[in-house]
Structure 1
Amino acid sequence: MHPSLLPELRPQTPLVVLVDDTRAFRDRRSHLQVRRGHDAVELLRAVGDRQIDELWLDYELLGGTTSVAAVDHLVARAERGNRLGVDVIEVHSARVPEALHITQRLQRAGYRARRCYVQGIWTRFDPATHDEWRPDASAGIAEHPTSRRADASGPADVTEGFRA
């Protein structure tokens, strides 16, 4: 379970969500990561009404998907008067026109969204050392924060978005 989802640890462990197919955090901060647009929507649904401290959005994602589906989900919630609690949304896409568009849509919906140009915080996503959260029909977010793959040595231990 991601530590920020345990009520007793919530004040000490921020909930950080990264929607990006090629980048990961260089500093190995605790986070939940998705690499496909539809998975981003499912993760936001699984988070429910929990407060997200940071939501990082790339535009272009795996499988020809984009973060537009996640943005649509966030905007629709705001329009229904049920805005997702997010402290800040950092839009860090290299696709400038698309990033500007989704940033403006989120701002108009009342979210604190901004363009992020910081480069030094990233490392390349490596499936051997990083994990991504994938929806699982039989498990909620508490039971399934990242995908767990088995290898020759058995199930991998997953800690805060990275293989231990």
Structure 2
Amino acid sequence: MSLTEPRTTSDLLNFRLNRLLASSGAMIVRLCEGRYGITRREWRLLALLTEHGAMSPSELAQRANLERNRVSRLIPELVAKELITRVAVRGDGRRAEVAITAAGRTLYAELLPQSVAFSREVLAVLTDAERDAFDAALHKLTESAERIAARKPVPEKADRRHGGARRLRER
């Protein structure tokens, strides 16, 4: 495998990161779904609300790096589980924010240390210097990717609903 000279899709940065995420994330998925009855995405929303306070669904979607409509579908599920609540925005009856509940904070307090332990276990194969270098590299790569994405080098909009099939038919 080579990041600088990929010969197959398995060599590409995003595929390798996705493989790492799938492997390390599987532990969190089992913990979230098996022990706590929430999905990994619901856990992400709960963590963001706990760490950053009440916010609009749009802001929550942006911080979670999820599509707004996906977050809109997750919110009623978390409200039904009494882990978050909708709070009317003062002075604007049309808008609402979502906020963590006491039960949501309790779940966060239980789940975060377990998530940290899994993360530490995965990172334990690296030396302190390797972890520092990896952390710095992730930061630089993320900043680079965000700059490139902001330039919109691919002008076409994503068509996730149709899986791009419409463009294939137009050719």
Give the alignment's TM-score, normalised by structure 1: 0.26
Relative contact order (C-alpha < 8 Å, sep 6+): which is higher?
1
More strand by share: 1
Larger Rg: 2
More helix by share: 2
Give the alignment's TM-score, normalised by structure 2: 0.26
